[in-house]
């Protein structure tokens, strides 16, 4: 198999894995593999150059897009969908013990959650704070 095809397959596999994880880190590496495939078409005997170009593209995208996303997040009018979870009701799917994460369902999504009080399955909770992947919840004391 030609080396450009191997780089292309690697890039496609990384794109597929990226679609499953949604981290954007594998996206940049996948684009680097595609760049290496393009170099392999032009210079098929220079594996080192192909790998170097792929690495430079992946690292460049990783480092230069971070400030761009930070700028966009701080721009006027930007709202993060995850921030909208604060104040919403959910239901405990997996028991939450003090100091241990459980699982809550807020809307149609399930989230890891923590609480300063023990919560049982099917308790109604309200989101009081969010981390990157873990919500902080407390038992909802309101009237349904």
Residue 47 sits in the same domain as residue 89: no
Residue 96 sits in the same domain as residue 65: no
Q: What is the pLDDT of residue 82?
A: 66
Q: What is the pLDDT of residue 24?
A: 72
19, 54, 74: which is the final residue of a domain?
A: 74
Bridge partners for 119 per DSSP? 96
Q: Which domain holds residue 107?
A: 82-139
Residue 46 sits in the same domain as residue 94: no
Residue 68 sits in the same domain as residue 87: no
Identify the residue whose tokens are 């594996």. 47
CB environment 80-107: b (16+ within 10 A), e (fewer)? eeeeebeeeebbbeeebeeeebbbbebe
Identify the residue whose tokens are 């990226």. 18
Q: Mean pLDDT per 10-residue run, the chain (144 residues)? A: 93 92 82 96 93 95 83 71 80 91 90 91 90 86 66
Cα–Cα distance for residue pair 31/70, rounded to 1 Å: 21
Q: What is the pLDDT of residue 91?
A: 93
Asked whether residue 112 is domain-assigned, the answer is yes
Cα–Cα distance for residue pair 75/122, rounded to 1 Å: 39
Residue 66 sits in the same domain as residue 86: no
pTM: 0.55
Q: What is the pLDDT of residue 130?
A: 82
């Amino acid at each position: 198999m030609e080396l450009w095809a191997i780089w292309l397959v690697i890039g496609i596999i990384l794109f597929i894995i990226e679609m499953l994880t949604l981290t954007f880190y594998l996206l940049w590496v996948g684009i680097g593999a595609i760049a290496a495939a393009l170099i392999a078409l032009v210079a098929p005997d220079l594996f080192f150059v192909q790998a170097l170009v792929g690495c430079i593209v992946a690292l460049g995208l990783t480092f230069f897009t971070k400030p761009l996303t930070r700028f966009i997040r701080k721009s006027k009018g930007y709202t993060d969908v995850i921030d909208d979870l604060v104040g919403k009701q959910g239901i405990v799917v997996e028991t939450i013990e003090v100091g241990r994460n459980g699982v809550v369902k807020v809307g149609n999504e399930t989230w890891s959650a923590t609480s300063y009080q023990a919560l049982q399955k099917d308790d109604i909770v309200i989101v009081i704070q969010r981390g990157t992947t873990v919500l902080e919840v407390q038992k909802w004391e309101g009237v349904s």
